[in-house]
Amino acid sequence: MVKAGRARAADEVVSSTESVRDRILNTARELFYREGARSVGVDTVVAQSGVAKTSLYRWFPSKDALIAAVIEAEAKDRWSGWDYTAQRSPPDPREQLRAQLAGIAKFVSSPKYRGCPFMNVTVEFADDQHPARLVAREVMEELRRRVRALVDQIGVPEPALLTEQIVMLVDGAFSSAQVFGKNGPQHLLVSAADALIDAQKK
């Protein structure tokens, strides 16, 4: 009873600044991104979040559920960032695309960058039906949809081909920056996309 009482007290302290669920989720996001979702145990998340283990399982019935929630949170932030860039960019679709690609290049050049969280989770979990992998796949499909929407407005003879080429460039930037850091080829992302667009417009 004393132990349970202490756990509830700890949760109450956490609740005064952020919800227990958010505390767990934010701690897991940081740990999973830095060290990998498979290598971080639930006990570590509990210890570093400062909440009771029963609270973690109240919000996330399994570790897989927690991992999926982390990836969903990452997805929400990714598209919030995309929308933020879109709102502050010129209305011209080609300039919109350039702004998005420049933002990606800047993001992956950060010293805190540890790879694309969606690519990371697909590498960690072989089961293509793992809940986190399903979220990751939807994120990649959404990227295709958003790029295609801009490509359609730019107006090229083969929009589907150009979309796939640009998505491949983005994937390459996410991957290579994890190896080469700020000195990777991601700084070529905008110019490479421009070259692909110009090639179709000739």
User: Residue 98 sits in which domain range?
Assistant: 70-202
Say whether 167 sits in a helix, a strand or coil.
helix
Tokens at 35, concatenated: 């060290």
Length of the chain: 202
- Is 81 in the same domain as 52? no
- Is 198 in the same domain as 108? yes
CATH number for the domain including 20?
Answer: 1.10.10.60
- Is 55 in the same domain as 80? no
The number of distinct structural domains making up the chain is: 2
Among 61, 87, 113, which residue terminates a domain? 61
- Is 22 in the same domain as 84? no
CA-nearest of 11, 13, 6, 124 to 57 is: 11
Digit-coded pLDDT (tens) for 133-173 = 999 999 999 999 999 999 999 999 999 999 999 999 999 99
Digit-coded pLDDT (tens) for 74-114 = 999 999 999 999 999 999 999 999 999 999 999 999 999 99
**DSSP string spanning 42-102?**
HHHHHHHHTS-HHHHHHH-SSHHHHHHHHHHHHHHHHHHHHHHHHHTS-SSHHHHHHHHHH
- Is 1 in the same domain as 87? no
- Is 190 in the same domain as 130? yes
Among 61, 78, 106, which residue terminates a domain? 61
The predicted pLDDT at position 18 comes to: 66
**DSSP string spanning 3-21?**
HHHHHHHHHHHHHTTS-HH
The yes-or-no verdict on residue 190 having pLDDT over 80 is: yes
